[in-house]
Structure 1
Amino acid sequence: MHKFFQKLLDTKHHYFLSFNLKYCILLFPLAYAIVRYNLAAGVEWSQLPLYITNKALAMSSVLALLFAARAMLRGCRKSARSLGKMALHCAWLHVLLTLVLLPAGYYPKLSLFVQTSGGEQVMQMASFSATANLALLFGLLCAYLFFVISNGQVNGLQKQILLYLQICTLAYHLLFLGGYSWFAPGSWPAYLPPITLLSFTCVLLLAYFHQKVGKKR
């Protein structure tokens, strides 16, 4: 009976820690995005439900992937699977919200600018710059690979290769999306690093963890 209750307590403790971790993965990026964009950059609070939340969800997805890889490295397959699902849900919400925000002109740096005969630069809402095309391409490839991997139809070496491809596409997506501002701290609101830079750092750690997991196998 004692062993039964001890096992029950251990299980409850595990779920409590798992819940707290997921809670932090969702809340930390949102809090950071609010501080950086709403408070430091002066973005209107009306943009919080979609624009700011979309940025937070993107980082939450990367963080969930990172902690999933860490859990896998420690042999906690159940936690890794749960965090992987969380990362997938955050990623797909990020994709859907981005598709809503793109046509509304929320990302002017992704749009193509043309010069009129009078020398004025005008943004073309229906066209993307070359860098934006690459950022969106790698983002969609990453989302597709995420879907293929989570589908459960691939295993072993094939899954490992797809995981590395996913990490590469995610890294390139972030690089083309925000790399232009990573080395200009003077342009950062309150000197707070861009979410793309923080996420890219997490992706590097993710690649390291996956390499360690591969060696353990």
Structure 2
Amino acid sequence: MGLTRLSLRTSISPLRIRTSISRLRICPHRRALSRMLLWPFPWYLKHASSPDIVDSGPDEKLIARIQPGIRQLHCIPLFRSRDTSLSSIYRMVEDLCAGHSLMLGYECEYMWYHAEERWNLSKVPDPEESDPVLYALLASMVESLVRAFNYKLALGLRRNGDKYLEDDRHIDFPRETVPAWAEHVKPIDKTLDLLSDEQRSMSGAADTNFSKRNILANTGDLYNV
């Protein structure tokens, strides 16, 4: 009996229940987040942005309101297993529109370390977004992530945490590819400028994956390693 109790006490749950509870306790709206995580239908969580996010302007506090506790959720296994690549990209678009470059970098890093096949960028499903501006932002973000991830892969970094820095494996690797739907998303009618004053003064600050759709945005934080 003593050995059994010891085994139960020292074994590590793949869900890390105690750690997850501790993280949820420091989240805002922790009861609502707990219900979201524990309610199993549908299994994959959906995060869709409001078109109003496009007109929010620089507002880092906005992200805390529309993505409550996201940094803690990133570390909770149950959330990670139920989250989706498309939801993560929606959050990145929100970070970009709100001018929260730090959160954009965090969310990109979170996505990078999702090495499951369903998180391959080529498998990001078509959001079929009805708002043309938001649709263009999502498509441009996916294309920019493909470029950023392939840059990291070329350095010898891998999404599962492996590193190949001293042999040919850093140049011989399967590259991320753009999902077919993103290539067909059209430019928006009116220019959307998401650059900060500092970025606007820098040559080449605008990401071409966005500018081809009439959106001015800087995605340098996607390349953090």
Shared fold (TM-score, shorter chain, > 0.5): no
TM-score by length of 2: 0.29
